[in-house]
Amino acid sequence: MKTRGILSLFVLVSVFVCMGSHTFGAVETNYTFEFYNRYIWRGFDLNPDNKFVVQPSVDFTFGDSPWSANLWYNYSNENHELNEIDLTISYILSSNENLDITIGSVLFGWYWAKDFNTENNTTIENFVTLAWKNQELNPELSIYHDCKNGNGLYASLALSKEIKLSEKQNLEISSSIGYNQKQWISRSGLAM
């Protein structure tokens, strides 16, 4: 099992290192490869044994189209396997120099769950995001509604600032607060 997990991680790293940021006709791809000592998602600690996680992500943009897609993975060192893959499809409803309004859907999948079945181990979430641009601290308000297994609402307010380090490198500093209205839990409350 451990060998399979290490092999999965090696293949994933190889794909992302070779891929980088490329343009294929009107399709542009960008990737991130992030390491965390914990997997905190909307206030939930999804990696309680403090094992590190690797979270690679690939963004696809389609030229001047308002459509985009993202493929995101979570590799957990706890079980040495990819344990979550999410696919996000987004559409920019409106965009100007100060505000983007985006809608979309996310398909969450826990495909390596024991006794996997699509009814219990996948869920769909719809969202709307308002992102103010060209501000000192770019605010972003997002509202998510899980219409399957999570069956609830989650709203977040984030602030971010990007600092240019070099021509090809940026540093982004961000903070957010969220409100969970019975999404994956039986009560409502703040998530930080």
**Residue 8 confidence (pLDDT):** 47
Q: How many residues does this entry show for the chain?
A: 192
Pairing of strands 122-132, 99-109: antiparallel
- Bigger pLDDT: 24 or 142? 142
pLDDT greater than 60 at residue 39: yes
Six token digits for residue 176: 């957010």
Taking the C-alpha atoms of residue 91 and residue 48, their distance in angstroms, rounded to an integer, is 34
**C-alpha closest to that of 88 among 123, 118, 131:** 123
Beta bridge partners of 8: none
CA 63 to chain centre: 21
**Residue 11 confidence (pLDDT):** 45
Six token digits for residue 12: 């994933």
DSSP assigned state of 117: -
Count of Cβ atoms closer than 10 Å to residue 110 Cβ: 16
Beta bridge partners of 41: 44
* Range in 9-13, 111-115, 172-176 with the lowest mean pLDDT: 9-13
**Residue 24 confidence (pLDDT):** 54
List the chain domain ranges: 2-191
pLDDT digits (tens, 9 = 90+) for 65-118: 899 999 999 988 877 777 889 999 999 998 888 899 999 999 999 887 888 888
**Residue 49 confidence (pLDDT):** 74
pLDDT band for 42, please (50, 70, 90 cuts). Answer: confident
pLDDT greater than 70 at residue 35: yes
